[in-house]
Amino acid sequence: MSAQKNLLEVKNLTTNFYTKKGILTAVDKVSLSVNSGEVLGIVGESGSGKTITSLSIMQLLPVSSKVAEGEIIFQGENLLKKSEEEMQKIRGKLISMIFQDPMAALDPVYTCGAQMIEAILAHQKVSKEEAEKKSVDMLKNVGIPAPENCMKSYPHELSGGMCQRVMIGMALLCNPKLLIADEPTTALDVTVQAQILELLKSIKNDRNMSIIIITHDLGVVSEIAQKVAVMYNGRIFEEADTDTLFLNPMHPYTQGLIKSMPKPNQPRERLFTIKGTVPSLSEIPQGCRFNPRCSKATDICRTEEPELVNAADNHKVRCWHI
Ligand SMILES: Nc1ncnc2c1ncn2[C@@H]1O[C@H](COP(=O)(O)OP(=O)(O)OP(=O)(O)O)[C@@H](O)[C@H]1O
Ligand SMILES: [Mg+2]
């Protein structure tokens, strides 16, 4: 057997916004890797740079932003060197993304069926009839109860959970090697969240697909991911395999995130929260970016930023106090 090889390797990715306030760095020297068949979770509070990281990989960034530095190596090739035309061939076919807001990602003026058929015809040499059949089969696969009706429906006629299933179905139509799922369950109620998570788990097992799952919910990560990267303020703060991260979280930020996970039967008002908020990109603190919120912060934390270092085998941490 050949050694497992990285399907995706993000090296030193830096993505900036060019604004009136100046250059704001939303993703700051981020490195990540995903092996074939592996699920990587990216967690962190709102504004930590999770979506911008994934949009950088897809090269679907907002117009005011740009990758300033780094490499995105997918199957041995740097995606940042690809033309838009080449990227269009890669998107949907080799790498698919489920967006944070399914309503915004589906086109309101076309039926779900029309959008799915078009997605297939863009990448596969099949007839319209075959594309239609594939679409219906896919809707069945992702648990849509009446797929033929769903084909004829417009996105606004479907519930949030159904829309999310359609989005997942669309993302899988061309059997991509990598699926990037950005908060795939956040907008949904708890029961539907669990169903979508089960769906993603079965996709992972059946298709041996690599998945990057982006979420602020560590519960989701613990269920599906083999390894986790914790992001804060554009930086990776900790990275480890999932069991290690939960058993031995080393960064006070990760410890806070785990402590703030709701436990069964716990009253909401007793829930732990990390004090303060993620600083805005124009007010990044000196030293460790987490220091104003950290109970362990000392002088060095307030003046010098720690590097992300190997604290143990396959366990990286960015903290002065490890
Ligand atoms: N269009 C934009 N112009 C300027 N700054 C932006 C823009 N979009 C995002 N940002 C900033 O980039 C940073 C990272 O945003 P990003 O959307 O990646 O966060 P996130 O981790 O996905 O958060 P969430 O959990 O809320 O989805 C944030 O500070 C955000 O304010
Ligand atoms: Mg986001």
Distance 118 CA to ligand 1 centre (A): 30
CA of 140 to the centre of ligand 1 (A): 34
Residue 44 beta carbon below 6 angstroms from any ligand 1 atom: yes
Q: What is the CATH number of domain 6-94+176-260?
A: 3.40.50.300
How many Cα atoms within 13 Å fall on the side-chain side of residue 304? Answer: 8
pLDDT at position 1 is: 44
**Residue 32, pLDDT score:** 97
Cβ of residue 47 lying under 6 Å from some atom of ligand 1: yes
pLDDT at 21: 86
Contact by Cβ (8 Å): 237, 254: yes
Atom 4 (ligand 1) nearest CA: 17
Atom 28 in ligand 1: residue holding the nearest Cα = 47
For 253, the enclosing helix (H) or strand (E) is helix 252-259
Q: Quick one: pLDDT at residue 4?
A: 54
Domain ranges of the chain: 6-94+176-260, 106-175
- Counting as low any pLDDT under 70, the low residues of the chain are 1-4, 102, 268
**Residue 2, pLDDT score:** 44
Query: What is the enclosing helix (H) or strand (E) of 148?
Result: helix 147-152
Find out whether 40 and 221 touch, Cβ atoms under 8 Å. no
Interval 33-57: pLDDT, tens: 999 999 999 999 999 999 999 999 9
Phi/psi of residue 102, nearest 5 degrees: -60, -35
User: Which residue is it, tokens 């956040």?
Assistant: 186
Nearest CA to 59 out of 87, 18, 23 is that of 87
Write the residue with the smallest CA distance to atom 10 of ligand 1. 26
